[in-house]
Amino acid sequence: MMEGTKDPVEAGGSASASPPVDPGPTGRAERAARRKAFAGRYALLPLRLFLGVTFVYAGLDKLADSHYLAGRNDPLSFYAQTVAAKAGSPIGWALEPALHAPTFFGLLIAFGELAVGLGTLFGLLGRVAALGGTLLSLTLFLTISWNVSPYYLGNDLPYLMAWTALLLAGTPYLSVDGYLARRAERDRQRGLTESAVLRRTVLDGGIAAVALGGGGLLAGSLTATFVRRKPKPAAAAGSTAPAQGAAKVSVAVADVPVGGSATVKDPSSGDAVYVVQPTAGQYCGLSSVCTHAGCTVDPPKNGQLSCPCHGSRFDASTGAVLNGPAVKPLPKYTVTKDGDRLDLGAVQS
């Protein structure tokens, strides 16, 4: 060591007293390039985690929902939702088989989502999982979200685009696919023949797939058996009159123009209700909660209420469904005129 210089290791705690060593322009450029390469390599990881978790959750949620496979008499069932989607979809004809075997197709979709989610999370056959996600999202876009206007309010199109990115990139990092690919490379360098490398990769990939598939089946079956939610009771006509003693909910007549609405709150549920005047002198209240999946429908416009989530449309004078995927009308409330006030009454239907 040159006299007068200090070895940083020897210097120990006193190293902080020395001025930091400038790596120079080349060193800084290398570090920046390394950081960029690192960020680029893991750029799709947040998207992959989101899609994986969401699809696992969506699959398990369907299996835990007692309405999902309840059959044609339940408006929240897979069957009823498929009937509604078929009516307004450009690929309605392709949904016909699902109506003949709704239980099979309902389970296929739920377990398919689970498999896609797990494959994506673990990065096992990542491109195959992304292809599954792409096809599922494309189907949902062409059926459930097809009537959403404007198109960017529907959520299946963004999912479709997100899956396409993963389909192109695959899951080469922090994944089973990546591990198998790196091991295959090491095997080649060790001098294994290409067929031996392939055999080892297929065998271990197959074992991982069977283990993950078995885990998914077990998780799905346990969810369907033990985590099943109780069915929501159907609202009976006239059964939700405001509770005794509840404050009267009213709105000024002047606030409800013909074709327009004013928003009040149902004192029993806390949900927003649109008090509407579809034709001069005719008043009623319509729940703002979409009967498809609970989004808030927009206030009436041009005689209709539209749901921004999947495009259901409802008649502004009756609450009847004009366009699915909702199959049940919006709950309708009586509204009585009392001088210059309009009082919200009970749910009629």
Q: Which residues bind ligand FES (CB under 6 A)?
A: 290, 292-293, 295, 307, 309-312, 325-326
Contact 219, 114 (CB under 8 A): yes
CB of 84 to ligand FES, least distance (A): 9
Between 171 and 312, CB nearer to ligand FES = 312
CB of 115 to ligand FES, least distance (A): 25
Residue 233's nearest CA partner among 345, 80, 71, 76 is 76
CB of 280 to ligand FES, least distance (A): 29
Between 143 and 250, CB nearer to ligand FES = 143
CB of 291 to ligand FES, least distance (A): 8
Between 48 and 328, CB nearer to ligand FES = 328
d(CA 163, CA 54): 12
**Residue 282: other Cβ atoms inside 10 A:** 11
CB of 347 to ligand FES, least distance (A): 19
CB of 135 to ligand FES, least distance (A): 21
Phi/psi zone of residue 123: left (φ > 0), alpha (ψ -120 to 50 degrees), beta? left
Between 223 and 312, CB nearer to ligand FES = 312
CB of 147 to ligand FES, least distance (A): 9
d(CA 263, CA 239): 22
Contact 307, 298 (CB under 8 A): yes
Between 175 and 312, CB nearer to ligand FES = 312
Between 62 and 310, CB nearer to ligand FES = 310
In this structure, the dihedral spanned by the alpha carbons of residues 78, 94, 111 and 163, taken in order and rounded to 10 degrees, is -110
Residue-wise DSSP of 173-225: SSSHHHHHHHHHHHHHHTT--HHHHHHHHHHHHHHHHHHHHHHHHHHHHHHHH
Is the sign of the CA dihedral 89, 92, 98, 99 positive or negative? positive
What pairs with residue 344 in β-bridges? 335
Residue 347's nearest CA partner among 244, 236, 271, 231 is 236
CB of 127 to ligand FES, least distance (A): 31
Residue-wise DSSP of 96-156: HHHHHSHHHHHHHHHHHHHHHHHHHHHTSSHHHHHHHHHHHHHHHHHHTSTT-SSGGG-SH
Between 145 and 277, CB nearer to ligand FES = 145
CB of 312 to ligand FES, least distance (A): 4
Between 118 and 305, CB nearer to ligand FES = 305
Between 6 and 229, CB nearer to ligand FES = 229
The structure tokens listed for 60 are 């398990």
- DSSP conformation class of 94: G
